[in-house]
Chain A
């Protein structure tokens, strides 16, 4: 499904420039933590001009698709324009969470960089 999505988007023009796919790793940094069985991922734009791109493209639905099969619940998104950040709550991400969880990452500490694997489109000048 992911490969199909890549094919659909490859080479598609956006606005006047050329669309290029980049990993969030190049546009943002992140930190994640836990509350019970919910993980939160704070996604922070590396530059002010990247923040609108994140708001537009890194939607709750997109993040839910990204983590499909890894979380059992829904994804919520909150905006913090003052910090150029988005906060995502990933429900059912931690196998019960805290002490119950059998996962290596029982507290969701590295779901931050897992989100940074997501690719979005940016426009580059022709």
Chain B
């Protein structure tokens, strides 16, 4: 859209279409058809997603990306071309080239040959380089526990550095209409088109921080436009047609958060504030590959119906490290549930838990953890809820018991101990329609840091 030498546009509109893989399928379609936008930003990757995709790729080398992205592109590509809307998505997972090839095939099916350039950003995948990095003294120590990676090296399933906005900027500079990346930060996906459109520099720390705040605000989709919003929640209008957020960015780093007209939800200062503090650590040091943003400098102001103006953001120089997300095998778990009804629902559920645990002990099964919760009686707020609850009056309580172990057989045996309680445990029990719980593999998350100079992002263009 913006070529070198042309003046920077006054406003760039970046619309969020997915807050995670599995988010509302209608949202991206509504974003491209509901009003003017310049970019559609789609965030598909959670920490656990990369290991799932790595497993798919190991079974079939043409897989390993967010498959939903391809039918979505097939649905909206004609509109994107017609309206000159660009797409930036980290849908590439652990196989961005295969994802790009699938999208290119979709474009050809739509006879859009010659009309779509796909930018592919790779270089984040470190799985094949881990031993080399460790051998060269990069310990990849767990940021939370301080343990060295060698403790779990033989169980590692995926390892990806978080790339920032700059490789996406490079893809846009090379004329990409659709940028497909691997593990690029959520915030970088939104920051990149601002850098590209406004010509921001690598040391424009305040501007980069402003774009990062914009990215943080819309990276969870509708969570800043009325979804999961606690303040005044009952009066947030028409969530059935909730409008996903749009950033209207300016070259000076100020931006508005808004949404298309005639959509549901609400964009307000309190609602945007809820999203700003979401998944927040030290607010003065929000660290990304591109900068350190200081969230204590953000100024929010109402700027009309469903519009909040953001200004004042200050930033500091980026660090010389990148975060690395490593996924490793951590045994098995299973969760079983049964529902107990009035009278004495809570007592019955507790009694059933006692019976079940006694049986597990008698079977000699060993677990790293057994956790019992009583849904409807403090499963989420614990003792804080039970202080005021009338436990005898509860109409029903769900017994929810989970186990975790490296012993797959122990977890499997546990799954067979739930159903018998219907006939041989405490009474007034129901709710076993789902059948025997399924043991699942646990893939845990190992956060680490690596020197930036060890990671070389790569940008390629696929012509359709």
A residues bordering B, Cβ < 8 Å?
2, 29-38, 40, 42, 44, 46, 66-67, 69-70, 78-85, 87, 89, 95-100, 102-105, 110, 112-114, 117
The distance in angstroms between the C-alpha atoms of A80 and B297, with both chains bound, is 8
At the interface, yes or no: B144 with Cβ under 8 Å from chain A?
yes
The distance in angstroms between the C-alpha atoms of A32 and B228, with both chains bound, is 11
Nearest chain B CB to A3 CB, angstrom units? 9
What are 28 A-B pairs with beta-carbon distances under 8 A? A31-B228, A31-B230, A33-B278, A33-B279, A33-B280, A35-B279, A35-B281, A36-B447, A42-B274, A42-B280, A44-B277, A46-B231, A67-B384, A79-B296, A80-B295, A80-B296, A81-B296, A82-B296, A82-B298, A98-B47, A98-B445, A99-B48, A100-B442, A102-B402, A104-B380, A110-B381, A113-B230, A113-B381
The distance in angstroms between the C-alpha atoms of A110 and B108, with both chains bound, is 46
At the interface, yes or no: B78 with Cβ under 8 Å from chain A?
no
At the interface, yes or no: B369 with Cβ under 8 Å from chain A?
yes
B residues bordering A, Cβ < 8 Å?
47-48, 144, 228, 230-231, 270, 273-284, 295-300, 312, 330, 333, 335, 369, 371, 373, 375, 379-385, 387, 400, 402-404, 442-445, 447
Nearest chain A CB to B255 CB, angstrom units? 16
Residues on the B chain within 8 Å of A36, using CB: 144, 445, 447
CB pair B230–A112 under 8 Å, yes or no, is yes
The distance in angstroms between the C-alpha atoms of A2 and B298, with both chains bound, is 37
CB pair B277–A80 under 8 Å, yes or no, is yes
User: Which of the residues A29, A35, A70, A84 comes within 8 Å of B230, measured between beta carbons?
Assistant: A29
Chain A contact residues: helix, strand, loop or mixed: mixed
The distance in angstroms between the C-alpha atoms of A95 and B442, with both chains bound, is 14
Residues on the B chain within 8 Å of A85, using CB: 273, 276-277
Residues on the A chain within 8 Å of B335, using CB: 102
The distance in angstroms between the C-alpha atoms of A33 and B443, with both chains bound, is 20
Residues on the B chain within 8 Å of A100, using CB: 330, 333, 404, 442, 444
Residues on the B chain within 8 Å of A32, using CB: 278
